[in-house]
Structure 1
């Protein structure tokens, strides 16, 4: 019988040495792809370490999938180089790159059992039958699918099918595994569970993984580093913490954390802090030190979860709570700022401690949570 909705967690397998499937480093240098007058990828460069989990994150049309397809060999770049380990694979056919690929669609053979689906890449490579049985059994056990070996895809849940697809990519020990939004078709609960499972397998086996998603939370949960892409360019390539807490551009601050932006001007900089006077309220806001000269016009960026609501006379600005929405552990509030009908400041506070609609509040933030961008940086 099918075991829909039940996903056995991956297990550690005695005798399986992570070194046998450790991934290789990957280098992308000045990769470019155009379609007529449209630049899909524009001089993208990055160095990915062996055993690293890297995510390409961006909206539709940002170039993330095109970059992945060029690495896979399904799309030929106009210029640039792709190196896996010490091999230049830029012009090699996909099958000669020996990379693993996991699609959003499972693409399992419906007439084959789970074991037969996983064994298929090894059969194509002419691996001896005894070795195929050993590798398939080992890989299914790693993914917690041993008891499903004799089933066919239609007898599996969506999560189990996706794990079979992952096993098929793992079984021939590719140097790099590429994943194109593999969890996009699953419900949130199952997607959250599989995020942890994929990350666990990747860490235990030392795999090099490149993952594509448009889901910011998914990228933050799974990645060692994230390449935030926009209009074919890499805006910032960094750790999740650095991207969220130290974005280098207003776009990254807004895309990854839905930052609030306020206009102001630098009035003073000390050894530890930069002080900004806000244009609308005239209030003084203290940020961590930025290398910005006095008088520089800036955009102040603060994530909703890093703002605090207090007494109306406290803080760098004040306003009236216009909305307060309960979302489980959080209350999401919108504060209409005094003197600025256009500005609705977004806050996220712990449920039970949040402001209520109609309440007057003052807004504060820890200086270390405040990012400043010169208005010359643009979006």
Structure 2
């Protein structure tokens, strides 16, 4: 066995090794993808409602949303498995909207793996090459290299039922990478794995994508997975893209209440604008009685708003810094931090408590605390039902 793959005897996929083995033979360069006005309805119900996006060559993009948001239907239209009612899909400027899925030359990794149970691991990986008419000697070479780099050589003669879930997922990934697709679509491929293996596979998939320059479009409902993997994330709701941005942009500059609450579960503090931002910051008089100073946001004084702050950005402070005070209801230790809830003074009945995550020594339930946040960590939204 070559020195590069000596450390793979345990069957753990090494992205660096896999990329190094595959790349010298065929440079894998992703292609750009453009989506314009993509729509799809079923029985009069619109499930995708005018999706527009530009995805750069070599970019890792994730569709993130809850069930029914339209993310998987959008992916299926990109793959060609579902025909859109209207709109276009283009790759490197070439319209492929009506092109047969088999002629798009995309790679597709499913959650269920979809390995052929009657075939061995080697036969499963070889199958897409056989479909493409690759010569047998070349098939044997590519399959052997890919399986060796993935730490699966010793499983080449086994059937899928004889493998663990993680091993089956690596076979599914190898089956895609073996034919060097410029664009890879992944539909919740890690959903069936346990957390430890899922975390490991996230790192490996991202590393392989970067090393080989693949364009990857990934679907998940797991927020942490999306943040770890993605160059950009499209957050979807009711068939629409609420915001298409970098993980940092989504987390720190949400454009809608839905994005603020969906990604990171923001606290919303209702109040009235006192200073509309002409002074370089926006002052909000909270309904609970305190005053909160946020980054400048164009607002008319007197306007009703909601200030959004993520749990990790609220902090316990001294009375002189406080924007609100309250009583600790719960304090739960979760390892690297403690999650506490605080009932603000003066909060209206039915108002949810503030959620705070802190690495500092936490207060005990029943203690009174002062709470504040930095202006740059606060987003301001009109006080309407946007989430």
TM range (shorter): over 0.9
Q: Which residue does the alignment assign to 1:272?
A: 280
Separation in structure 1 between the aligned mates of residue 153 and residue 11 of structure 2, nearest angstrom: 14
Q: 1:43 aligned to 2:50? A: yes
- Counterpart residue number, 1:263: 270
Q: Which runs of 4+ in 1 moved over 6 A?
A: none
1:171-250 equivalences under 5 Å are: 171-250=178-257
SS in 1 for 2:263: helix
Alignment counterpart, residue 299 of structure 1, candidates 306, 315, 319: 306
Equivalent residue, structure 2, for 1:168: 175
TM-score, structure 1 normalization: 0.94
Deviation (angstroms), 1:41: 0.1
Q: Which runs of 5+ in 2 are unaligned?
A: 1-7
Partner of 1:11: 16
Please point out which of 357, 367, 371 is paired with 2:375.
367
Deviates more, 1:205-214 or 1:304-313: 304-313
1:143 CA drift (Å) = 3.2
| Residue of structure 2 equivalent to 1:61 | 68
Q: C-alpha separation between the residues in 1 aligned to 2:149 and 2:39? A: 38
Q: Secondary structure at the match of 2:90?
A: strand
- Give structure 1 stretches of 5+ with no counterpart: none
- Aligned equivalents of 2:237, 2:290: Cα separation in 1: 34
Distance change (3 Å), C-alpha of 1:301 and 1:15: closer
Offset at residue 281 of structure 1 (A) = 2.0
**Among candidates 318, 322, 333, match of residue 340 of structure 2:** 333
Q: Which residue of 2 aligns with 1:346?
A: 355
Q: Distance in 2 between matches of 1:194 and 1:10?
A: 10
Distance 2:101 2:23 in 1: 28
Task: Measure how far apart 1:80 and its partner are.
Answer: 0.1
Residues 15 and 140 of structure 1: is their aligned pair in 2 closer, same or farther, counting only changes over 3 Å? closer
Distance 1:375 1:266, change over 3 A: same
Equivalents in 2 of 1:189, 1:102: separation in Å?
20
CA contact (8 A) 1:17 1:205 kept: no
SS of the equivalent of 2:16 reads: coil
How has the CA–CA distance of structure 1 residues 11 and 115 changed in structure 2, closer, same or farther, with 3 Å as cutoff? farther
- Structure 2 partner of 1:125: 132
| 1:81 and 2:88 matched | yes
Q: Secondary structure at the match of 2:75?
A: helix
Q: How many residues align?
A: 375
Instruction: Please name the residue that 2:3 is paired with.
Output: none
Task: Identify the range of structure 1 (58-67 vs 88-97) with the bigger mean alpha-carbon deviation.
Answer: 88-97
Task: Summarize the Cα distance change of 1:362–1:86 in structure 2 as closer, same or farther, 3 Å threshold.
Answer: same
What is the distance in 2 between the residues matched to 1:229 and 1:345? 26
The alignment's C-alpha RMSD in Å is: 2.0
1:313 positional shift = 5.8
